[in-house]
């Protein structure tokens, strides 16, 4: 069967996030105050063939470890639909 | 009150997605076949002060139009918690 997967990859807490810092500095200049703790990560959507949702999740988790994320500095979350 | 917002920004359909294409080529070489339609976008998490959830959503949607996304080539979705 074909499954849709969403992978959310975010920088780990404590890891520098230059994109987030840049946005955090830019927003007040545009008139948006009161915004804090901005973190920027990746969202990856894909379709995959698998025998069932558990197999689909396991394969996507493996892909995260090997290619989609950097487990040293990023955390990831997989949603299968 | 303080709200947490998640912004998912994805390339519009038909817009080239070089990151997605690169991953799609790399996966079979790593032994992961049967994966298709890979799209890579951004996930932005932030905290903001607002009077209520509707105001929070409206402000984040405005930030998307002005800074967080490029509405010409990207679609975005805002979730307020």
Which has the closest alpha carbon to A49: A10, A2, A15? A2
At residue A30, φ and ψ (nearest 5 deg) are: -95, 5
> For residue B33, which residues of chain A lie inside 8 Å, CB to CB?
49
Which domain CATH number covers B26? 3.30.1280.10
pTM: 0.94
- Complex ipTM value: 0.93
Give the model's confidence band at A76: pLDDT under 50 very low, under 70 low, under 90 confident, else very high. very high
What does the pLDDT read at residue B45? 98
Q: What is the DSSP string of B14-50?
A: TS--HHHHHHHHHHHHTT--SEEEEEEEEEEEEEEE-
Give the model's confidence band at A7: pLDDT under 50 very low, under 70 low, under 90 confident, else very high. very high
Average pLDDT over residues B37-51: 98
What does the pLDDT read at residue B73? 97
Picking from A40, A55, A69, A74 by the largest number of B CB atoms within 10 A of its own CB, the best residue to mutate is A40
State the total domains in chain A: 1
Of B8, B50, B68, the CB nearest to A23: B68
Integer Cα distance of B11 and B77 in angstroms: 12
Of A42, A50, A63, the CB nearest to B42: A42
Give the model's confidence band at B61: pLDDT under 50 very low, under 70 low, under 90 confident, else very high. very high
CB contact under 8 A, A34 and B49: yes
Tens digits of per-residue pLDDT, A15-42? Answer: 999 999 999 999 999 999 999 999 999 9
Domain of B37 in residue numbering reads as 2-80
Q: How far is A40 from chain B (nearest CA, A)?
A: 5
Give the model's confidence band at B71: pLDDT under 50 very low, under 70 low, under 90 confident, else very high. very high
Give the pairing type, strands A74-80 and B2-11.
unpaired
Average pLDDT over residues A34-52: 97
Q: What is the DSSP string of chain A?
A: -EEEEEEEEEEPTTS--HHHHHHHHHHHHTT--SEEEEEEEEEEEEEEE-SSHHHHHHHHHHHIIIII--TTTEEEEEEE-
Give the pairing type, strands A74-80 and B74-80.
unpaired
């Amino acid at each position: 069967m074909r499954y849709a997967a969403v992978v959310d990859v975010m920088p780990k807490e404590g890891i520098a996030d230059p994109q987030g810092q840049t946005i955090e500095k830019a927003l007040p200049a545009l008139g948006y105050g009161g915004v804090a703790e901005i973190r920027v990560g990746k969202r990856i959507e894909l379709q995959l063939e698998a025998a069932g949702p558990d197999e689909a999740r396991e394969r996507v988790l493996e892909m995260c470890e090997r290619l989609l994320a950097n487990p040293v500095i990023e955390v990831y979350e997989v949603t299968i639909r």
